[in-house]
Structure 1
Amino acid sequence: MATSIQLINSVLASGQYRALLSTIKGFRNGVVYGAKVRFPHALVMTLLFKRGSLKEMARGIAEATFTHSKNLALFVFFYKGITNLLQSFETKRKQHHAFLAAFVTGYFVFGKYNKVNEQINLYLLSRILYGLAKFAVKKGYIPQPKQDTFPWFAAVVWGVVLWLFEYEGDTLQPSLKSFMTYLYNDSNIWHSIKDFLLYNKL
């Protein structure tokens, strides 16, 4: 047993099979990170907004956690595998390798519609739009703002989302619409002290 572990450790330390081993470890990290992120989120959202038996709620949490972990692990595995393959054809890593590998893998892994994939894709969309704006300033495509633009960013985001909620609510993601309904619509309804302070609805 000790000899086997020593052999594995020597292979890992040698740097041999680095591309393959980094792909395998990427899969492992995808599983762990997906579970760490999704489990507490699914648990909280289920306890706050879902109704049903304890078994149904537990199944929902487990399914969401499994889907997130599986998809993230598969994405990392195939992304790293494809970038390593492309690099082997061109002797060194090029910028377009990242886009091509992620484009192909994203289509097959995160292109299937489900609630988990929708949330992950929307999460990334907001981050890349923010990142692209910073990239445009960094490269000089747009001038560096002379004052802090974050308040204007916040104003536009909140102005648009509340307008959509109030007048085009069917265009919003269901979970966003649900919590906005709780905050803005349900706070207009009460019949007594019970559903004014103690409960949202009787």
Structure 2
Amino acid sequence: MSSSSSSAAPSPPPLPFPFSSSPPALVDALQRFRAAAERVVLDPANHDLLAVVKAARNGAVYGAKVRFPHALVMMVLFRPGTLREKLGLVYRATRTHAQNLARFAVVYKLVRFLLARLRAGRLALTDLPSVADLLDLEEGGPANLVGGILGEGGAAGAGGSGNSSSSKGKGKSRLRGLRGRGSGSKEGPYDSFIAGLIGGYLVFGGRGRSGKIPSVNQQIVIYVFARVVLALARLAIKPKGAGGLGLPVVSRKQVSETIARHAWPVFAAASWAAVMHLFRHHPDDLQPSLRGSMTYIYQQSDHWDSLRNFIWHNK
């Protein structure tokens, strides 16, 4: 005998506070909205495009988590100015870091997505401009992307000139035509490189309104570059059979082991020798935050006029 409860659909989980204490009609409407949203995000046909949206979310969250504590410490302890000015700098640095990681994630994931569709014949080169207009980095690309997936007006359809609305409307129709998980084609060997190249140029390659390269972008790119160099150095001495580049001579086992054992001390010594020489003779050419830190440690330590600013305070 089957029970009536076994055929009933499972009830949705309760809404979190404070929605759980809302009027019953509002709670019911919110439950229906959440159920519809769940269907959209769990639909396999939407997976690849929604992965672009989640990449933007994760980039923004990670950028804020990484930048906020660093900026807070550096600005409060080492920057002159009032507390309000310092907090403003912290906010702007955090916003820039979060926005740029989110934008790069959107461009990177979307370019890989489009390359796969191009390879599978589901997208033509002539379609790319209208899709690019829809995903304008300066006009809320992730929000427009969601509107394109769902076939709704969204951010792309609100306001704007006739030409802009027409172009973005074409972009939405192209995106709806590209729905469906999987492209029927394997990823190309250089898709990630091309996507990173385009994303790096569009997001991190520009200058600010003042005509200067934003310091946050400099720090991010230098951070990435340093780790790329280290990874390429490891690949250079790794044999091809082990997944490396297998460069002549240096990839031989004995030579490779010797380099791996002694490379880091040489690299560390050469790096510190170079930066100290540059700081002593060409300080203006160093990155500002590095120059400020080194000034605090190596120059301001030469000056004091009492026990108070010898131990307890710097100045």
TM-score where L is the length of structure 2 = 0.61
Structure 1: segments with no counterpart, 5+ residues: none
Report the Cα distance in structure 1 between the residues aligned to 2:187 and 2:34, rounded to whole angstroms. 32
2:189 to 54, 73, 95: 95
Shift of 1:148: 4.0
Task: Work out whether 1:111 is the aligned partner of 2:205.
Answer: yes
Q: If you compute each CA radius of gyration, which structure gives the higher value, 1 or 2? A: 2
Report the Cα distance in structure 2 between the residues aligned to 1:48 and 1:157, rounded to whole angstroms. 26
Report the Cα distance in structure 2 between the residues aligned to 1:200 and 1:53, rounded to whole angstroms. 19
2:307 to 178, 193, 196: 193
Q: How does 1:35-184 map to 2 (within 5 A)?
A: 35-90=64-119, 91-112=185-206, 113-138=213-238, 139=244, 140-141=246-247, 142-143=250-251, 144-146=256-258, 147-184=261-298
Report the Cα distance in structure 2 between the residues aligned to 1:35 and 1:107, rounded to whole angstroms. 22
Aligned partner of 2:180 in structure 1 is: none
Tell me which amino acid in the other structure corresponds to 1:180. M
Structure 1 segments of 4+ aligned residues over 6 angstroms from their partners? none
Secondary structure in 2 matching 1:94: coil
Structure 2: segments with no counterpart, 5+ residues: 1-29, 120-184, 207-212, 239-243
How many residues align structurally?
A: 201
Shift of 1:12: 3.0
Q: Deviations over 1:9-56 (max 9, x none)?
A: 344334222210100000111110111011111100011111212211
Shift of 1:97: 1.1
Secondary structure in 2 matching 1:16: helix
Single out whichever of 152-161 and 136-145 deviates more from structure 2: 136-145
Q: Deviations over 1:117-144 (max 9, x none)?
A: 1111111111111111112122221331
Q: What is the aligned-residue RMSD (CA, Å)? A: 1.5
Shift of 1:7: 3.4
Aligned partner of 1:21 in structure 2 is: 50
| Contact preservation (8 Å) 2:107, 2:198 | no
Secondary structure in 1 matching 2:45: coil
Tell me which amino acid in the other structure corresponds to 2:232. L
Single out whichever of 147-156 and 187-196 deviates more from structure 2: 147-156
Shift of 1:155: 1.1
Percent pairwise identity: 40
